[in-house]
Chains A and B, each alone.
Chain A
């Protein structure tokens, strides 16, 4: 901070109120990003206060990181500068919910858990089965474009987010999109904020379309001796008329995590597992049960096990919390998020497995069959200083993903700060379109106030 800190804090207190500027070390530790601590946490009450804070920060050349539940602050490159944490958790209200219209407007600090509870009272939901679901907030989920297994049937955030209100890096309240389910008016500026990690603007309202909860649901686990038949099975399901809600593939390492605690004794966790959920009328679920059984045998599955409701909720919760389970088991793990075409998945997973072995690391992968692989590299227990091995593996992953036969889009989503430093760039090698992203950044945040340096291309 350029001016004496106290003078700055006094001005911020005038904007948000004295009790809403926190400086005690314990609080600051919760908003730490890659060992960097802010000088203060600012808790605005609304978009107007947020705008005033941002105008002030821009004037004082302060760097500010927006946050909610603080569950995803580790994602992205380490910030170049970090003066203030802009904590949006006070902005936690549903602003408009019209269950009859299946539309919703919500503040960024609302916890997803609370929002889903409100929606379920109307037998509705949002397809956001995302990690850290007890603390994650809407703003953070959208800004990190958190991945949900329900993407398979409902698309990503960009497909059901109708519009947003936000505050730019210059402190201007602005918006993109709208509140109705169909709308192509003006540039879709709100889409730019999805996955932008708080580098373009501070989200102050998100409008969604909501979905009816399906009347019935059934989950099935098919086990395979190898990756190849598991993916052939997924492909066959994809080419069929069936329309499952979720298709996930767990390698043996992940299956072990998913099925360990309350493992249904019937499932053998040492295998490749394909987890499929069907939803809709009960006749639709029954049809899936019949045909999946037939397809699984045709694909040489060891078995196809239907889960009870209790087992289903336990396993879907574990799938949802995959990164968290990994990080709790191995805090030093490095978890990649890789966008890849379904036909390239078996080869990619084979390459990843080789890289892990070569670098003395364990590997656990969870694959969304529609095209996202989460690959966690875990140091072996005896390895007390794994950073170098992890960094070497990470760079090899980026290299492998760049190969034409894989051409995947990889990001190192979760890893310790030391590994980030050793890898050099969690966003992988530079791409030509990063220059276009820089132009967007210059429009939204010309002073580089918001999360400087955290994003792809050094943004």
Chain B
């Protein structure tokens, strides 16, 4: 990177907000995925104006610009694949407005997901998207990746909870889209920008919808002796059109790891459990819980247990939300997938994953958002074993192909990033991808915003090619 660019960034942000020492850069070369990429400079802006100036400089110096929240992403979205500047939003972490009467909040992108829910708790409100990393992930990151979580089954992913954004475009222009109202005029630009993984603009302010906390919550744990019984229960719950707030599945292998780590009270001797939550009015919760219990029993659940109190409920969820970490204790690395299938295809899909694990001689743990068909097979490996790593990728691709073959999708909540961009042709035709590429070019004409993400690199897609600096930029040398 040109020293002059770093000097300009220091002049703009101050020396403490610009990091370029190798030991600093190392801290930002990874995220929650298995990907790596070294940035050349880290900047920590504190305002929209600074973000806009950074965008202008990045463009002037033809340098890639990659947004980053807490770096918990699982698809490499925050990784500087082609080097350049990583713009870290952790200092832009203020909740700007809480409008309880209209159930809205306006936040900066660096606000931590759970902090927002805590800040509005006294109003009986919360922010519905609840990724497992919600204690550390930021709302800006949630917007970029269109993150989900266990409770998206009933409440939808991030895009269903965003009504307005402030954007910094690739040339530094600041534009607001959407607003606080449920409807605004014109095309649904919020719908386009949420989930665009930092490839269309940088987001500097987010208006979110807050949800009202339900009167009653019941958390059920159904314990099974076979995987087929477990998955058939999920199918039956779906078919009977019962919509729990969450319906999570953990297989026996995962459970044992979780229990050793968290001591949540999961049985260690079963094939799988379903962790099911129902929410709403007391009357509705009672009725749904009874119906779900009946379905689980019908499919030979060994036990259907209802969490007695908040403590037991929190413990079960702690087990679920720390499951990735628990499996991480068993192996140096893991590769987690995020495919989606039609919910009724769960039994055959789980059998397919078991066969794939066997075929490639790999250990796979299964933690699913079963209720909406969102799979998280977690393949354990040791990155020092290159041959094993290649088998991991092959196994992952085989599972993904199965998801698409049954009518599913590549990612339910983690985003495409640099992990699945080459798999996009499994789901989209060259014409579909060309249109997405043109949308990207309309907002990110230089290709400098988060290069190498979402779309396949391929020939002629202009991914890495960047425009030369304009003639007026002859000063940087």
Contact = CB atoms under 8 A, between A and B. Distances in A.
B410 A182 contact: no
B343 interface: yes
B340 interface: yes
A433 B175 contact: yes
A432 interface: yes
B242 to A, nearest CB: 8
Interface in B383-409: 407-409
B110 interface: no
Interface in B236-259: 238-239, 241, 243
A283 B282 CA distance: 10
A: contact size bracket? 35 or more
Interface stretch (B86-94, B132-140, B151-159): B151-159
A431 B424 contact: no
Contact of B342 (A101, A427, A428): A101
A148 interface: no
Contact of A186 (B184, B191, B416): B416
A182 B374 contact: yes
Interface in B437-459: 438-440, 442-443, 454-455
Interface in B168-208: 175-177, 179-189, 191-192, 194-196, 200
Interface in A411-459: 411, 427-428, 431-437, 439-440, 442-444, 455-457
Interface stretch (A16-24, A191-199, A218-226): A191-199
B407 A409 contact: no
B160 interface: yes
A174 B176 CA distance: 28
A192 B192 contact: yes
B124 interface: yes
A101 B344 contact: yes
B358 interface: no
A305 interface: no
B287 interface: yes
Interface stretch (B28-36, B312-320, B428-436): B428-436
Contacts of B286: 283
A212 B241 contact: yes
Contact of A185 (B183, B192, B424, B440): B424
A448 to B, nearest CB: 15
Nearest to A342: B102
Interface in A359-400: 370-372
A432 B176 contact: yes
Contacts of A195: 186-188
Given A243-B281, A284-B281, A440-B442, A372 B183 contact: yes
Contact of B188 (A194, A238, A241, A443): A194
B214 A241 contact: yes
B442 A187 contact: no
Given A172-B431, A185-B411, A191-B192, A339 B181 contact: yes
Contacts of B188: 158, 191-192, 194-195
Contacts of A176: 432
B192 A184 contact: no
Interface in A288-344: 337, 339-343
Given A101-B344, A124-B241, A339-B183, A187 B369 contact: no
A199 to B, nearest CB: 9
B442 A180 contact: no
Contacts of A3: none
A18 to B, nearest CB: 29
Interface of B: 99, 101-104, 124, 145-146, 148, 152, 156-157, 159-160, 175-177, 179-189, 191-192, 194-196, 200, 212, 214-215, 235, 238-239, 241, 243, 280-281, 283-284, 286-287, 340-344, 369, 372-374, 407-416, 420, 424, 427-429, 431-432, 434-436, 438-440, 442-443, 454-455
24 contacts: A102-B238, A156-B182, A172-B435, A174-B429, A180-B409, A182-B148, A183-B340, A184-B157, A187-B196, A188-B191, A189-B435, A189-B439, A191-B192, A192-B192, A196-B187, A239-B212, A241-B215, A337-B183, A341-B181, A343-B99, A409-B183, A435-B175, A436-B175, A440-B187
Given A186-B416, A188-B192, A189-B436, 4 more contacts: A178-B340, A187-B436, A192-B192, A442-B442
Interface of A: 98, 100-103, 123-124, 145, 151, 155-156, 158-159, 168, 172-176, 178-189, 191-192, 194-196, 200, 211-212, 235, 238-239, 241-243, 280-281, 283-284, 286-287, 337, 339-343, 370-372, 407-409, 411, 427-428, 431-437, 439-440, 442-444, 455-457
